[in-house]
Structure 1
Amino acid sequence: MTEKKVVLKFSAQNADKPIIYHLVKDYDLIINILKASINPHKEGTMVLEISGDRYEEGISFLEQHGVSVLPIETEVVRNIERCTNCGACTVHCPTQALYIKRPSMEVEFDGEKCILCLMCLKICPVRAMEVKV
Structure 2
Amino acid sequence: MYARMLVLRFPKDIVDKPIITYLVRDYNLTFNILKAQIYPRKEGMLVLELRGSKRDYDKGIKFLKQVGVVIEPVAQGIRRDDDRCYQCGACTAVCPTGALRIKRPEMAVLFESERCSACELCVKTCPARAMIVTFDKTLAL
| Range class of TM-score, shorter chain | 0.7 to 0.9
TM-score (norm 2): 0.71
Q: Give the gaps of 5 or more residues in structure 2.
A: 137-141
Rounded to whole Å, the distance in 2 between the matches of 1:91 and 1:61 is 36
CA distance in 2, matches of 1:79, 1:36: 25
More moved, 57-66 vs 76-85:
57-66
Aligned residue identity for 1:121: V
Q: 1:23, CA displacement in angstroms?
A: 2.3
Q: Choose which of 109, 123, 127 in structure 2 pairs with 1:107.
A: 109
Deviation for aligned residue 1:117: 0.9
For 1:9 and 1:103, how far apart are their aligned partners in 2? 43
Q: Larger deviation: 28-37 or 82-91?
A: 28-37
For 1:9 and 1:48, the matched residues in 2 are separated by 14
- Pick closer, same or farther for the CA change 1:47–1:62 going to 2, 3 Å: same
2:82 counterpart letter in structure 1:
I
Superposed displacement of residue 74, structure 1: 4.1
Identical positions, percent: 40
TM-score computed with the length of structure 1 as normaliser: 0.74
For residues 32 and 13 of structure 2, the distance between their equivalents in structure 1, rounded to whole angstroms, comes to 21
CA offsets, 1:85-128, max 9 Å, x none?
12221222122321233333332212343222121122223221
Count the aligned residue pairs: 131
Structure 1 residues 1-133: aligned runs within 5 Å: 3-26=3-26, 28-39=27-38, 41-42=39-40, 43-52=44-53, 53-132=55-134, 133=136
| Change beyond 3 A, Cα 1:10–1:112 | same
Query: 4+ residue runs of structure 1 moved beyond 3 angstroms?
Result: 54-57
After superposition, the CA RMSD in angstroms is 2.6
Cross-structure match for 2:139 = none
Cα distance change, pair 107–91 in 1 and its aligned pair in 2 (3 A): same
Unpaired stretches in structure 1, ≥5 consecutive residues = none
